[in-house]
Structure 1
Amino acid sequence: MGAHHDAVPALRAVLIDGSGADLDAAVAQCRLAGIAVNGWSDSGAGALELIESLPVPPDLVIMELNLPDMDGADLLQALSMLEPGLPVIITSRHSTRLHDAALTLASTLGLDALAALPKPVNAQALRDAALSCEAASARNAAPTRAYCDAGLPRPDAGEVLSGLQHHQFELHYQPKASLQDGSLRGAEGLIRWRHPQHGLLSPACFLPQTEAANLVDVMTVEVVRMALQDWKRWHADGLSLPISINLSPLSLTDPHLAEELITTVNQAGVPPRAITFEIIEHEEIADLATALRILIKLRLHGFGLALDDYGAGHASMLQLSRFPFTEVKLDRRLVHGAARRPHMRPLLSHTIAAARELGVTTVAEGIELEQDRQLLRELGCDLAQGYLIARPMHARALPLWREKSAAAGKVTGTGTVIQLRP
């Protein structure tokens, strides 16, 4: 076992592989990695029966894509129905692109897709995947992260409006750091509702009602108000932080909102260059002329513009080319685990190089593994954010975090991002 296993969580795994030799090798490598083997099976049906017979579900399933009685796609579906959220590691001798597709299927089915490893598996790769499993568990248990489970109430639009009028919302910030020198360049802010009865609620609990009731612009103005207050407070303490604020696609249909945002920022005495508006697109913009007019207007007044969730949905090279963006944020689904997916390297490299040619800053979201940070740094990405850098924190805590990090030689500098989504 040895000291190397101290950092590996005490996971209990079930192994599924139709090859006896590969199964024996995987069992041996798991033990070298400090992972307890709860049981193994050489067939999909046998594995499902084994998992169902266990007193508690395993912490981890390590499975081959080719089995004598079913293929990996069907096994993933069966596992998702048997134990939703079950952590899974895929192993096979197939291409990395097929591995990545299988991981995507696992995630889509609701499983916790940790990694796809080429055969023969080795203890170090299993250990790294086990650590990512521990990181995922920590994320799910993080007290700073708010959720809207089925058991939590979803306040109606009237309550949302009342909460806005009584200033019950607040912003939490997650720092961004330079990938080249570690300096602090920003923080992603997350809006939360400090509900008087239900406690801290995430956007998932109130944004759908907000959008349905056409209150998105009202909420955006409230977010701007809070952000400007934080900017002034930090500035008074000697910390001048540029701020980015998310704009819903719904806001790109209202040209009057741009005027209101410009006026609000100017009246607060905050220079427009300190503000960047982030745009998330979940569907194609219906009124392109109005959206362009709004974004060009904001850019002409000195505000920055960021294309968020790049690489997902409609946030594409086409949008980057036709809007005057100053920043592009690489979606976490491209970034997380990229170091273990070799085919992602040319995709990320191309995007980063294109952004550099356009003079656009690149930000990698979802950095949680050191290998991913090293890869994005090597590819020339500018900034990183994620749990490897820091967890979200209240506005009052950010200056203190910066001081402690600077004292430890980790970060210096400025920059902040605010957004409405979870």
Structure 2
Amino acid sequence: MKSTIQELSVLVTDDSITQRQYAQDLCRDLGVTDLHGATNGVDALQALEARKIDVVLVDLEMPVMDGVELIRSIAQKKLTTSVIILSAKDPILISSVGTMAEADGLHVLGTFQKPLLPDALECSLLRFIHDAKLAQQQVHQVEQEVTAVELSAALTNGEMTLAFQPKLTVQGLLLRGVEALARWRHPTKGMISPGVFIPLAERHGLIDPLTRNLLEQAFKHKRTWQQYGLRFNLAFNLSPLSLADIDIVDWLCAMADEYEVPFNEVTFEITENALLGELASAIRTLARLRLKGFHIAIDDYGTGFANAQQLSRVPATELKIDRSLVHRAAARPQQKTIFSSTVELAKNLNLTTVAEGVETQEDFQIIVELGVDLVQGFYFSKPLYADDLLKWIKTGLTQLRRQHESK
């Protein structure tokens, strides 16, 4: 699998010799050596059929076969998976073609107005590498079939653990809290994705014991941090199925009391799709949690079908805006508009806003511009195990602030 930009194969398609040479020079400056050029869509298809290409840069305005036709042909013939779309035209048009390409099954690394900037190209190629690694991991996880019996044994044998991703203030990059993320270290199959074992737990009636197991670990860590003088919020995900448990509020309160965790320093996160099920049961549980002093966050907002009316019914304190709205919003005017209106909606509902999945400086600049309250994502820190989190708080956070002060 490709691991560095230098190992990528790139095809630049542009009828302008000057623009094509400029883009190729940018690739060379990044270390790309397997580099090819095409003057129009027909030439590009011939090049793609002759060799394996990782990334294709596509200019939309070309004779013989334009960029839109080329992209459709690439998708239909499955000649490559990843494209970068370029044009001197309106950004909304470029973004629309990107949406078309994604609907056709292509991975759109970027949609940019010309001239292509070096940082934009580098981020796009790094995104290809990062996403290729994730895709391989997902394939590996699919191959690792696990059973409910194995999951039940994992709870007994202490195989479940937690990683924590920091949540920072947009202004000043202060540590406001951490989100607890479930991890399963299988003794023979390695790390099992939450996307595999959480649905498994929900299907086989194991979600409550899994929740109790992980929450107890989270509260133990929270108590330890408090003993060190660290008082930040702990966010923990609740399954929609758990909201129907009439006893959940009582045992959540009892566990928090047992580990001396203040209720107002805990946020329970639910996905917006949880609002589409038994709404009355969900609101009853969430209302009781709020009355006790816990905070409630609506997670992954933008991926489901919740609307403003539903949001207004939920006693939430926080809205977490999904990566799908955040990522590359600067290059996609329509997406930026939706992102902006979502932030405005949250403010009107008196909700704290959190941007999830922040990966680039470009994304962060838009977040600052729109007045989002909190951020989390790989741009600031990956999820960290408890010991690594303490080290990051001592040294990594200070280094992060200095880096941003220098920009």
State whether structure 2 residue 74 is matched by structure 1 residue 48: no
Match of 1:117 among 79, 95, 112: 112
* Partner Cα separation in structure 2 for residue 173 and residue 82 of structure 1: 39
TM-aligned CA distance change 1:388 to 1:261, over 3 Å: same
Q: Any conservation in 2 of the 1:148–1:202 contact (CA below 8 Å)?
A: no
Aligned to 2:333: 342
Aligned to 1:99: 94
* Partner Cα separation in structure 2 for residue 132 and residue 312 of structure 1: 23
Q: Which has the higher contact order (CA 8 A, sep 6+)?
A: 1
Shift of the alpha carbon at 1:184? Answer: 1.5
Shift of the alpha carbon at 1:103? Answer: 2.9
* Partner Cα separation in structure 1 for residue 222 and residue 132 of structure 2: 30
* Partner Cα separation in structure 2 for residue 308 and residue 315 of structure 1: 11
* Partner Cα separation in structure 2 for residue 277 and residue 152 of structure 1: 32
* Partner Cα separation in structure 1 for residue 251 and residue 73 of structure 2: 49
Shift of the alpha carbon at 1:209? Answer: 1.7
Q: Any conservation in 1 of the 2:272–2:301 contact (CA below 8 Å)?
A: no
Q: Which moved more, 1:25-34 or 1:303-312?
A: 25-34
* Partner Cα separation in structure 2 for residue 27 and residue 15 of structure 1: 6
Normalized against structure 1, the TM-score is what? 0.83
* Partner Cα separation in structure 1 for residue 70 and residue 24 of structure 2: 28
Shift of the alpha carbon at 1:332? Answer: 0.5
Aligned to 1:13: 10
Shift of the alpha carbon at 1:80? Answer: 7.0
* Partner Cα separation in structure 2 for residue 220 and residue 87 of structure 1: 38
Shift of the alpha carbon at 1:208? Answer: 2.6
Whose helix fraction is larger, Structure 1's or Structure 2's? 2
Q: Any conservation in 2 of the 1:8–1:131 contact (CA below 8 Å)?
A: no
State whether structure 2 residue 346 is matched by structure 1 residue 355: yes
Q: Which moved more, 1:8-17 or 1:172-181?
A: 8-17
Match of 1:82 among 75, 78, 82: 78
State whether structure 2 residue 22 is matched by structure 1 residue 29: yes
User: What secondary structure sits across from 2:333 in the alignment?
Assistant: coil
Shift of the alpha carbon at 1:333? Answer: 0.7
Aligned residues: 392
The aligned amino acid for 1:62 is L
User: What secondary structure sits across from 1:33 in the alignment?
Assistant: helix
Shift of the alpha carbon at 1:111? Answer: 3.3
Aligned to 1:416: none
Q: Any conservation in 1 of the 2:167–2:376 contact (CA below 8 Å)?
A: yes
* Partner Cα separation in structure 1 for residue 373 and residue 162 of structure 2: 25
Q: Is there any run of 5+ residues in structure 1 with no aligned partner, and where?
A: 1-6, 412-422
Shift of the alpha carbon at 1:123? Answer: 4.0
The aligned amino acid for 1:50 is A
Q: Any conservation in 2 of the 1:306–1:325 contact (CA below 8 Å)?
A: yes
TM-aligned CA distance change 1:281 to 1:351, over 3 Å: closer
Percent identity (aligned): 32
* Partner Cα separation in structure 2 for residue 382 and residue 360 of structure 1: 10
Root-mean-square deviation (Å): 2.8
Deviations 1:209-230 (A, max 9, x none): 2221122222222221111011
Q: Is there any run of 5+ residues in structure 2 with no aligned partner, and where?
A: 403-407
Shift of the alpha carbon at 1:312? Answer: 1.9
Aligned to 1:72: 68
User: What secondary structure sits across from 1:185 in the alignment?
Assistant: strand
Normalized against structure 2, the TM-score is what? 0.86
The aligned amino acid for 1:294 is T
User: What secondary structure sits across from 2:53 in the alignment?
Assistant: coil
Match of 2:310 among 319, 322, 346: 319
